[in-house]
Amino acid sequence: MTPDAARAPKPLWVWRVRTALGVRSVVAPAIVFVPLGYLLGPTHLNVLSEAVQAHLDPVISAALVTLGVFVGLALGAVRADAGRSLAAAAVEASITAAVVASAIGFLAWTWALPGTGSAPLFGAVVGLCAAASATLVTRAAAGDRETTIARVADFDDLVVIAAGGVLVAHGGDLVATLRAATMAVAVATATAAAGWLLFESASSEPERGVFVIGTVLLLAGGAAYLHVSPLLVGTVAGALWAFAPGGAAQIVRADLDVIQHPLVVLLLLVAGATIRPTLLAAWLLAPLLIFRITGKIAGSWAAARIVRDVPPLELSARLLPCGAAGIALALNYDQLTGTGAGPAVVAALAGAAVVFEALALFNVGGEGDQA
Amino acid sequence: MIRRATALAVVVATAYVVRQHGPADGEARTMALAAGFALVAAALAGDFVEKLRLPRVSGYLLFGLAAGPYFSNVISRPMARELRLIDGVAVALIAMIAGLEMNVLRLKPRIIRMLQVGGITIAILFAVLFVGLYAAWPWLPILPGATGALRFAMAFLFATVVTSFSPTVTIAVMAENRAAGPLSELTLAVVVLGDLLLVLLFGVSMQLVRTATGAASQEVGLFVHLSWEIVGSMAFGATVGALLALYLRAIGRELAIVLVACCVVLSEVGAWMRFEPVLAALVAGLIVENVAPPRGDALRRAVERSALPILIVFFAAAGASLQLDALRTVGFVAGALALARLLLIRIGTSAGARVAGIEGSLVWRGLVSQAGLTLGLTVIVASEYPTWGAPLQTIMVAMIALHELVGPVLFRSALARAGEIGRADLTGADASIAPESGLAGAS
């Protein structure tokens, strides 16, 4: 890129740029598509009515699997020099999740919030949703520091999806949770094995596309049928492909790249449409904003001691945007629980995503590209 | 081969185990599982069938049948019903592909002769079938008690559906064999023009049925209904086609998704507006191909990419929804109709070729195939009139299966006899859908 090009104003959605996970960023689009989804949802225009949302349910499951697959594939892309970033991301995400989970769990318990069920579990789910990050990368200043920030922002999704995927499926009951996790891993392993056998044997590009999309739908359908998290199923399958011999990981990445952007947009639109202006959602939003900032500052302080080349305050500021993984996990929670708390968590997360992404855009002065 | 067989076994076993451990069908969300299973397993079945020198579509249908409720029940009745949700999109996509194959400039020099052959063939085929079906109606297993206007309208509709052809099978066989020459061109033109005419006839016949059954509004007449449905559908299709052409020119990114989105709009909005989705989609394709033809082969690649998964699920769902118990009673009717159609096509093309003054003794062999478009038309009938549309669909699916097995083989033998196989390589002509696209037998 030339210096002139680097200085040129960027459009709000700059989704050509990829993250280290290969997931195109959803930082700025949340500002556009979440409010748009809210406008199109049952509360206003009713284009994305509840019936339409029910029809879109398999597509949302497929979108969640797709995100999970990209996270799983990223495990294979972790090189030796990224070990510190991975550790930093795990520490940062865990601290953020713990801070938010403790605060929300405590508030849910003391305020006796209706429909939230077990307060610790509810807090843990919201905490994990809040721990995910995306970041803006200034292209003009791209270098080691930017790479480190981008990696930390990407890798913290691993913690969110791995822990959240298990938790949201059958949270609370340990036996049921373990059984769900085992089923999820079994379905993912069998389907990933079938996919691995097929991808490289495809005789043409369209046939290969059929195998990839079919495998993703099988993963999504298996997860939905067994009431386990599609995010977790996708992550396990992605990780298996990443470490399997041959070119399965590259094939899946290339083919899913084509449908990824529309799926993420749909995810954001549905998240917007799920928003209901309830008291619970309003109650959740303010503490979520406050304690997420607190968690990110604390987490980034600890993470900065591991990666060393990024100042803690800069890291926390850059990790503020929520990204797709948190919203995806909230949608997954809503899909699987079917209680009044689900839409409230989605609404709070979507609201927080808009606020944090707006802050992030100011933070990089409109010059950033997404990572 | 061993890899694929192993993969198929794993997929079938996974789907079976998931179904065993999941809740009852009524409580489960089955769409994604059914679609994923159908997509992977039917694609593999199509591949196995192709190795036996049969069309892939037959493999998709046979897979649906084998996995459906009548045999293994891996795709249960509720799952098959959920899979049918994509029918509308698939039908619109097939019609749009047919429209994209009609380049008026390319056909212009020979259009009069082609119209003569096609017009006379369709006229003879349709007229004799209509009269025969009307006369034999009390003995057909499709609402035999129908009389008067209803019997007339239903016979008209049934004759229209039985007459239809398959442009994509024709194109696919030509592409696979690198065929070029007078027979290839004439056959393609007759098939495509014939289907354009039959889609219009289908709109008319559906409106006749609606009027006869009292489903059409009594406040406005048949002519108004027809005008709205046919002219409105064409206007709607032209608008969508123009917007798609504009998108191709101005943006041209993520075409596969945009193409599917267009088909969703044509199918869902079209149905809501009481337009004929098939006609609208055909016109949309025509507009894109003739008014603003896309540069390069991006659109062709997008068609290949988006069409294949949708069509596989469409055909597998059709196979899984096949009413085998009804087939026992309609098998004879389907066989008799297929034979009559074959004879009438032969008579019609001979008469047409004689009038046009051209050699056309082999053209009939290219007109036998029926597939996606025919199935799409019957699906529309079955969705709107489940009581008598279902046996009609069963007869048509049996006929399609028969024609799918026989049609491509017959057409290939005609091309070989005319010496047109491999001539595309010599003349530089190119068929529009590549053989590897897997679209053989799609419409």
Report which listed range, A147-156, A249-258, B341-350, B413-422, is most confident. Answer: B341-350
Q: Which residues in B lie closer than 8 A to residue A259 (C-beta atoms)? A: 257
Distance from CA of B4 to the nearest CA of A (A): 6
Q: Both tokens of residue B228? A: 């709205």
Report, as an integer, the average pLDDT of A62-71.
Answer: 88
CB contact under 8 A, A210 and B40: yes
CB contact under 8 A, B308 and A207: yes
CA B147, CA B160: separation in Å to the nearest integer?
Answer: 19
Residue A7 has pLDDT above 80, yes or no: no
The whole-number pLDDT of residue B51 equals: 81
pLDDT band at A362 (very low <50, low <70, confident <90, very high): low
Residue B428 has pLDDT above 60, yes or no: no
Determine contact, residues A332/A64, Cβ cutoff 8 Å: yes
Burial of A110 (0-12, 13-18, 19+ CB in 10 A): exposed
CA B118, B393, B399 angle in degrees (round to 5)? 55
More confident residue, B125 or A139: B125
The whole-number pLDDT of residue B121 equals: 93
The whole-number pLDDT of residue B125 equals: 93
CA A67, CA A329: separation in Å to the nearest integer?
Answer: 10
Distance from CA of A197 to the nearest CA of B (A): 6
CA nearest neighbour of A93 among A137, A127, A122, A136: A127
Residue A214 has pLDDT above 60, yes or no: yes
Residue A369 has pLDDT above 60, yes or no: no
Report, as an integer, the average pLDDT of A184-200.
Answer: 91
Report, as an integer, the average pLDDT of B342-348.
Answer: 94
Region of B422 on the Ramachandran plot (φ > 0 left; ψ -120 to 50 alpha; else beta)? left
Q: What is the mean pLDDT of chain A?
A: 78
CA A196, CA A212: separation in Å to the nearest integer?
Answer: 10
SS3 B258: helix
More confident residue, B428 or A226: A226
CB contact under 8 A, B29 and A214: no
The whole-number pLDDT of residue A105 equals: 87
DSSP assignment of A156-172 equals HHHHHHHHHHHHHHHTT
Q: How far is CA B225 from CA A40, B153, B208, in A?
A: 32, 15, 10
CA nearest neighbour of B256 among B292, B315, B307, B294: B307
DSSP H helices in A174-247: 174-199, 205-226, 230-243
pLDDT band at A20 (very low <50, low <70, confident <90, very high): very low
Q: What is the DSSP letter of A18?
A: B
Pairing of strands A136-137, A369-370: antiparallel
The whole-number pLDDT of residue A310 equals: 81
CB contact under 8 A, A197 and B31: no
Q: Both tokens of residue A207? A: 């046939």
Report, as an integer, the average pLDDT of B99-122.
Answer: 82
* Residue entry with tokens 């020459």: B181
The whole-number pLDDT of residue B342 equals: 94
Residue B124 has pLDDT above 90, yes or no: yes
CA B9, CA B6: separation in Å to the nearest integer?
Answer: 5
Determine contact, residues B237/B282, Cβ cutoff 8 Å: yes
**Cβ–Cβ contact B11 with A under 8 A:** yes
More confident residue, A294 or A57: A294
Report, as an integer, the average pLDDT of A235-250.
Answer: 90
Residue B226 has pLDDT above 80, yes or no: no
Stretch among A251-265, B20-34, B271-285, B315-329 having the lowest mean pLDDT = B20-34
Q: How far is CA A88 from CA A142, A290, B134, B149, B231, in A?
A: 20, 22, 78, 77, 64
**Cβ–Cβ contact B36 with A under 8 A:** yes
CA B443, CA B432: separation in Å to the nearest integer?
Answer: 14
Residues 6+ apart with CB under 8 A from B322: B61, B64, B65, B68, B70, B394, B397
pLDDT in tens, A75-103: 776 665 667 888 888 898 899 999 999 99
CB contact under 8 A, B21 and A183: yes
More confident residue, B176 or B260: B260
CA B262, CA B283: separation in Å to the nearest integer?
Answer: 13
Give the ipTM.
Answer: 0.76
Report, as an integer, the average pLDDT of B198-214.
Answer: 84
Residue B314 has pLDDT above 80, yes or no: yes
Residue A192 has pLDDT above 90, yes or no: yes
* Residue entry with tokens 């043409």: A204
Q: Is the full-model pTM beyond 0.95? A: no
CA B423, CA B437: separation in Å to the nearest integer?
Answer: 20
The whole-number pLDDT of residue B347 equals: 94
The whole-number pLDDT of residue A11 equals: 35
pLDDT band at B25 (very low <50, low <70, confident <90, very high): low
Among partner residues A61, A219, A226, which is closest to B22 by beta-carbon distance? A226
CB contact under 8 A, A206 and B436: yes
CB contact under 8 A, B18 and A226: yes
Burial of A48 (0-12, 13-18, 19+ CB in 10 A): buried
Chain B nearest-CA residue for A217: B36
